[in-house]
């Protein structure tokens, strides 16, 4: 039977699978015109690339097991269960970058990551399929702990189970698949960017400041996410969504889509004057400040609402005894952190100028996703907090962008 779960998720899956191949083909052809369809747009398997990719992927999983970084407890799940997560994503990214630098110094042609992008997307795609099928056929609903059962699957529909996953937190021992996949996508993004830079220098032997700024912005975003990995543990994808193929496609979606501006600037040798770069950098830093400070403010408040720094803040005490912040960042809009995220992505896309639409695709997708996410969170908070949420919304009228949304 074709359920609403299938109808909602099949288009997302197709986008998650088709878009990376399309972007890879565009990167290869160096033609970023949105509607000129590349002739090389098809999967391509290469044995050497596949072996190296799988070895690299296994290394990422091993790095998670290295006893570096704090182990924290995640959010409270059903039955009061809290899972442990090791926060060593930043360490893992640094190891990846050091490995990349050593490979460069040893004469390894690191630009190959960019040159073999379709082959990498193909093997990453196969790995995602393999993992999704292993999860589908090895997990039995009756054996899953209650806190891990995905409530929107496990209804005897195999297509639903494959798309959205039977389990919310599939683990091999301590290794949490979703958590490791998220950081692997981020590390892959950093390596792809460095590879574009290596290829640029190999081909042009000059400095492109637009490319350097574009890479710096992506790296700040990636490094910040991994440095503050404790926040990732709490996002809905980690604590509420199942681990099906539609979530696993993030593994290639993150590097390809987030890396689009850098690839565009690197391959087309696009350059902006210094004053534009300065404005973009300032705009990006404004977004970063909004994003980081608002996220920190909420997590510090949630961790200890009695912290003296909040003594002058106005709050609303809800019937469930949870407090909602009404002053500070959370008095500006109901999601100041989304606002910061949006500003950062828009700033990143500005580095590609306005001659082509395609490099702006990622910013467009992120803005749409965050605005849709605001609606989802609004409904959930309304159900959770009832009248108290209405009171909060009367005080803080804007969802994300003050006076606009
Ligand atoms: P939020 O961090 O905004 O969390 C929303 C929750 O915060 C609500 O459900 C509520 O939960 C609590 N809350 C809401 N209002 C208040 C208030 N006034 N005071 C205190 N607590 C409040 O959303 P997400 O988890 O979706 O996102 C986390 C971060 O991750 C964001 O910065 C987002 O930009 C980023 N993100 C980025 C993505 C990307 O691809 N770029 C994808 C996903 C997330 P409760 O009351 O139960 O605590």
CB neighbour list of residue 357: distance below 8 Å, 6 or more residues apart:
34
Q: Quick check: 35 pLDDT over 90?
A: no
Residues 187, 252 contacting (CB under 8 angstroms): no
Find out whether the beta carbon of 332 lies less than 6 Å from any atom of ligand 1. no
- Please tell me the distance between residue 350's alpha carbon and the centre of ligand 1 in angstroms: 26
Q: Which residue matches tokens 């952190």?
A: 337
Instruction: Give the pLDDT confidence of 340-364 residue by residue, as tens digits.
Output: 999 999 999 999 999 999 999 999 9
Q: Quick check: 2 pLDDT over 80?
A: no
> Mean pLDDT throughout 243-250?
91
Find out whether the beta carbon of 327 lies less than 6 Å from any atom of ligand 1. no
pLDDT computed for residue 1 by the predictor: 64
Crossing angle between the packed helical segments 387-395 and 361-385, to the nearest 10 degrees: 130
Instruction: Give the pLDDT confidence of 189-224 residue by residue, as tens digits.
Output: 999 999 999 999 999 999 999 999 999 999 999 999
pLDDT computed for residue 293 by the predictor: 97
Supply the residue whose CA is at minimum distance from atom 10 of ligand 1: 381
- Please tell me the distance between residue 53's alpha carbon and the centre of ligand 1 in angstroms: 33
pLDDT computed for residue 339 by the predictor: 98
Supply the residue whose CA is at minimum distance from atom 43 of ligand 1: 235
Find out whether the beta carbon of 338 lies less than 6 Å from any atom of ligand 1. yes
- Please tell me the distance between residue 361's alpha carbon and the centre of ligand 1 in angstroms: 23
> Mean pLDDT throughout 167-183?
92
Q: Which atom of ligand 1 is nearest to the CA of 237?
A: 43
Burial of 173 (0-12, 13-18, 19+ CB in 10 A): exposed
Residue among 337, 344, 341, 339 nearest 283 (CA) = 344
Rg for the chain (alpha carbons), in Å?
Answer: 22
Q: Which long-range contacts (CB under 8 A, 24 or more apart) does 276-280 make?
A: 276/350, 277/209, 277/210, 277/213, 277/351, 280/213, 280/347, 280/350, 280/351
Supply the residue whose CA is at minimum distance from atom 28 of ligand 1: 235
Find out whether the beta carbon of 345 lies less than 6 Å from any atom of ligand 1. no
First-to-last alpha carbon distance for the chain, in angstroms, is 38
Crossing angle between the packed helical segments 260-268 and 361-385, to the nearest 10 degrees: 170
What secondary structure does DSSP assign to 215-231, as a single string?
Answer: HHHHHHHHHHHHHTHHH
pLDDT computed for residue 193 by the predictor: 96
Find out whether the beta carbon of 337 lies less than 6 Å from any atom of ligand 1. yes
Instruction: Give the pLDDT confidence of 377-397 residue by residue, as tens digits.
Output: 999 999 999 999 999 999 999
- Please tell me the distance between residue 74's alpha carbon and the centre of ligand 1 in angstroms: 15
Euclidean distance between CA atoms 160 and 163, whole angstroms: 5
Find out whether the beta carbon of 335 lies less than 6 Å from any atom of ligand 1. yes
pLDDT computed for residue 250 by the predictor: 83
Euclidean distance between CA atoms 316 and 335, whole angstroms: 16
Residues 19, 257 contacting (CB under 8 angstroms): yes
CB neighbour list of residue 337: distance below 8 Å, 6 or more residues apart:
290, 291, 294, 295, 298, 329
Q: Which two tokens stand for residue 304?
A: 């200890």
For CA atoms 57, 60, 66, 70, the dihedral sign is: negative
Find out whether the beta carbon of 235 lies less than 6 Å from any atom of ligand 1. yes
Question: What pTM value is reported for the model?
Answer: 0.94
Q: Quick check: 129 pLDDT over 90?
A: yes
Euclidean distance between CA atoms 25 and 320, whole angstroms: 52
> Mean pLDDT throughout 87-114?
94
- Please tell me the distance between residue 333's alpha carbon and the centre of ligand 1 in angstroms: 12
- Please tell me the distance between residue 235's alpha carbon and the centre of ligand 1 in angstroms: 7
Find out whether the beta carbon of 381 lies less than 6 Å from any atom of ligand 1. yes
Q: Which long-range contacts (CB under 8 A, 24 or more apart) does 91-95 make?
A: 91/63, 91/66, 92/60, 92/63, 92/64, 92/183, 92/187, 92/226, 93/183, 93/186, 93/187, 93/190, 93/222, 93/223, 93/226, 95/63
> Mean pLDDT throughout 92-104?
95
Supply the residue whose CA is at minimum distance from atom 39 of ligand 1: 366
- Please tell me the distance between residue 335's alpha carbon and the centre of ligand 1 in angstroms: 7
Q: Mean pLDDT over all residues of the chain?
A: 93
């Amino acid at each position: 039977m074709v359920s609403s779960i299938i109808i909602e998720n099949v288009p997302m899956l197709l986008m998650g699978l088709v878009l990376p191949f399309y972007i890879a083909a565009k990167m290869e052809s160096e033609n970023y015109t949105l509607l000129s369809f590349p002739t090389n747009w098809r999967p391509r398997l290469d044995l050497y690339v596949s072996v190296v990719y799988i070895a690299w992927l296994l290394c990422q999983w091993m790095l998670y097991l290295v006893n570096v970084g704090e182990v924290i407890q995640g959010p409270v799940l059903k039955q009061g269960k809290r899972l442990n997560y090791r926060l060593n994503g930043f360490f893992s990214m640094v190891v990846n970058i050091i490995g990349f630098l050593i490979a460069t110094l040893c004469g390894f042609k690191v630009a190959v990551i960019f040159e073999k992008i379709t082959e990498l997307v193909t093997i990453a795609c196969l790995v995602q399929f393999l993992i999704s099928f292993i999860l589908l056929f090895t997990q039995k609903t009756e054996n899953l702990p209650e806190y891990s059962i995905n409530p929107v699957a496990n209804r005897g529909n195999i297509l639903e189970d494959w798309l959205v996953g039977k389990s919310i937190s599939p683990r091999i021992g301590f290794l949490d698949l979703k958590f490791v996949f998220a950081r692997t996508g981020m590390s892959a993004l950093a390596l792809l960017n460095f590879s574009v830079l290596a290829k640029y220098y190999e081909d042009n032997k000059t400095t492109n400041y637009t490319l350097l700024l574009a890479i710096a912005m992506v790296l700040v975003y990636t490094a910040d996410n991994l440095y503050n990995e404790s926040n990732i543990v709490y996002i809905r994808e980690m604590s509420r969504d199942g681990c099906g193929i539609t979530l696993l496609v993030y593994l290639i979606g993150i590097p390809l889509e987030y890396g689009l501006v850098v690839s565009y600037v690197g391959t087309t040798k696009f350059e902006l004057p210094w004053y534009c770069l300065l404005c973009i950098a300032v705009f990006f830093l404004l977004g970063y400040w909004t994003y980081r400070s608002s996220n920190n403010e909420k997590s510090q408040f949630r961790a200890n609402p009695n912290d003296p720094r909040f003594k002058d803040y106005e709050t609303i005490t809800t019937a469930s005894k949870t407090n909602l912040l009404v002053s500070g960042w959370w008095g500006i809009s109901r999601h100041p952190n989304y606002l910061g995220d949006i500003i950062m992505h828009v700033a990143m896309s500005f580095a590609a100028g306005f001659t082509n639409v395609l490099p702006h695709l990622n910013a467009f997708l992120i803005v749409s996703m965050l605005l849709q996410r605001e609606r989802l969170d609004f409904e959930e908070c309304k159900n959770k907090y009832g009248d108290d949420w209405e009171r909060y919304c009367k005080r803080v009228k804007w969802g994300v962008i003050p006076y606009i949304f």
